[in-house]
Chains A and B, each alone.
Chain A
Amino acid sequence: MLNIALPKGRLGEKVYAMFAGAGFECPALLENSRKLIFDNEEAGVRYFWVKPSDVAIYVERGAADIGVAGKDILLEYRPDVYELLDLNVGKCRMAVAAPEGFKDNQDRTLRVATKFSRIARDYYTSLGRDIDIIHLNGSIEIAPILGLSDVIVDIVETGTTLRENHLEVIETIVPISARLIANKAGFKFKTEPIERLVNELRKEVSQE
């Protein structure tokens, strides 16, 4: 039996549709119930919904053999897992955004508000730019408006929230999408079913 951690929410439902299309369906998963774990013994899978940012923890710690996590989470927390497939869904980008017309003053330390401290630090280190990280847990866009930060580093999907708050993307750091990850030890002992699932899922991945 393969234990599979899926991210709760719209992305998880989209990803489950891919798993189902690949022959690993479990209809009870979409029923409105309080159940947390869903088995399909025939297909050899057991699914559970978890908070998107926790998927990598479940997989790294072996509670799940495989899971689906955003590349943003993998870059930020660097779990020791295999990254087997880019599912090409949940596509967005990690970007630097600033108030419209922003000009970076290189004489000063750049104040960066973000949920993704490690990604922001790695990016600015690669540029040799001195920064002051302001770690926030949500509503990042408000930080430069209130003068808390000069720029933000955050996920941008359509850019609507940024535009409505008179912010604009000034740099893309990395493209983001959902990735199929596997526990390293689990992969050793369940190689065949995991490979079979990966091969079937690969057929479901859109190349757009």
Chain B
Amino acid sequence: MMIEDQVMDAQERIGFRLRGLYNGYGYSRYRMGKFEEYDLYSRNKDFLFSDSVITFTDTNGRLMALKPDVTLSIVKNGRDNPGQIRKVYYHENVYRVTSAEDGFREQTQVGVECMGDVDGACVAEVLKLAAESLKLCADEFVLEVSHLDILSSFVDGIAPDAATREAILHCAGEKNLHGIRRICRENGIAEGAEEPLIQLLSLYGAPKAVMPKIRALADENGVGEAAAELGRAVAGFAGTPMENKIRVDFSATGDTKYYNGIAFKGFISGVPGSVLSGGQYDHLMRRMGRRDKAVGFAVFLNMLERLNEEAGTNA
């Protein structure tokens, strides 16, 4: 039996279309329960959107939680497969605090995770899937891509301690260049030492326009290989209709305790925040005792609730 589009809301329509897209790329559905032992989240609080988790004591006395995240469960329940790649997608509800005023909210996410012997081709495929996911939501979209190893290297080169590093990375995510300069002066960092970082953060735009400058800057600062990796990740879009939707932008940051390499965020016109977020998370895998590499992303369907009210969308 076919389900007609008009009986579904925008979230449901897009959710099912995304599942179809991921299926077509050979990703298999990953199903999971709503509960997980709280211990998993207490050990990885920084990975979550917020510290708050809904907990309850199960009949056997174990402290359980309503899932605030999907990736942690997939990593925890998976096993290393040397030489192989496991591709899964999910369509699940999570329970998290988005702001202190809102309290807990149920949110629906669709996402993909690619784990195992992940190489540049896998990362490029996931990036392509991210762009196609955005295209399914709306004609007007932007996928911004950065490389955390490049950003980290520039920040580590000037930050004298972990607190300063965090503060500078926070400013990087806000495109707050005056804030970076102020932090540097307050922490006794030599005048001008932050300039390469300022230049890096000022270089945002279409890959064709900015990649040559990023490569040159990265070469000067000893991270030429990471810049080449970034170049390869976005090269697949060159000459395609999606080329002008891709932006290289180092303000797309992530917690480097968990993430590394390519990081990306997706935006669609008319929705005020990012509707898609993803990247490589080998560091999370190591923290959880896994040797595999991993890359993935999530689409936040709740952000798309009002999408069909906007003109020109595909919802």
Contacts and interface: CB of A to CB of B under 8 A. Distances in A.
Nearest to A88: B178
Interface string A45-66: 0000000000000001110000
A7 to B, nearest CB: 19
Contacts, number: 46
B142 A83 contact: no
A143 to B, nearest CB: 23
Given A184-B274, A185-B271, A185-B272, A83 B174 contact: yes
* Majority secondary structure, B binding face: loop
Interface in A57-110: 60-62, 80-86
Interface of A: 60-62, 80-86, 183-189, 191
A83 B183 CA distance: 15
Contact of B273 (A83, A185, A189): A185
28 contacts: A60-B273, A61-B272, A62-B270, A62-B273, A82-B174, A82-B251, A83-B175, A83-B176, A83-B178, A83-B179, A84-B175, A84-B176, A85-B178, A86-B178, A183-B272, A184-B267, A185-B268, A185-B269, A185-B271, A185-B272, A185-B273, A185-B274, A186-B272, A188-B142, A188-B247, A189-B140, A189-B142, A189-B269
A70 to B, nearest CB: 14
A2 to B, nearest CB: 15
Given A62-B273, A183-B272, A185-B269, 15 more contacts: A60-B273, A80-B273, A82-B175, A82-B251, A83-B171, A83-B178, A84-B175, A85-B178, A184-B267, A184-B274, A186-B272, A188-B144, A188-B247, A189-B267, A189-B269
A61 B247 CA distance: 22
CB-CB nearest 10 A-B residue pairs: A62-B272, A188-B142, A83-B176, A185-B267, A82-B175, A86-B178, A83-B174, A188-B267, A189-B269, A61-B272
Contacts of A61: 272
Nearest to B265: A184
Contacts of B271: 62, 185
Given A184-B267, A188-B247, A189-B142, A82 B176 contact: yes
A83 B171 CA distance: 8
A87 to B, nearest CB: 10
A72 to B, nearest CB: 14
Contacts of A81: 174
Nearest to A198: B175
Contacts of B176: 82-84
A83 B178 CA distance: 9
Interface string B140-154: 101010000000000
Nearest to A181: B174
Interface in B148-179: 171, 174-176, 178-179
Contacts of A62: 270-273
Interface in B57-104: none
B232 to A, nearest CB: 23
Interface string B231-271: 00000000000000001000100000000000000011111
Nearest to A126: B163
Contacts of B171: 83
Given A189-B140, A189-B142, A184 B178 contact: no
A82 B171 CA distance: 9
Contacts of B270: 62
A60 B274 CA distance: 11
Contacts of B175: 82-84, 187
Most chain A beta-carbon contacts within 10 A, residue among B142, B247, B268, B272: B272
Contacts of A188: 142, 144, 247, 267
A183 B267 CA distance: 11
Contacts of B272: 60-62, 183-186
Interface in B257-301: 267-274
A100 B248 CA distance: 54
A201 B251 CA distance: 22
A85 B270 CA distance: 24
A184 B268 CA distance: 11
B154 to A, nearest CB: 19
A85 B176 CA distance: 7
B269 to A, nearest CB: 5
B88 to A, nearest CB: 28
A185 B303 CA distance: 12
Contacts of A185: 267-269, 271-274
Contacts of B174: 81-83
B183 to A, nearest CB: 11
A82 B269 CA distance: 17
A203 to B, nearest CB: 15
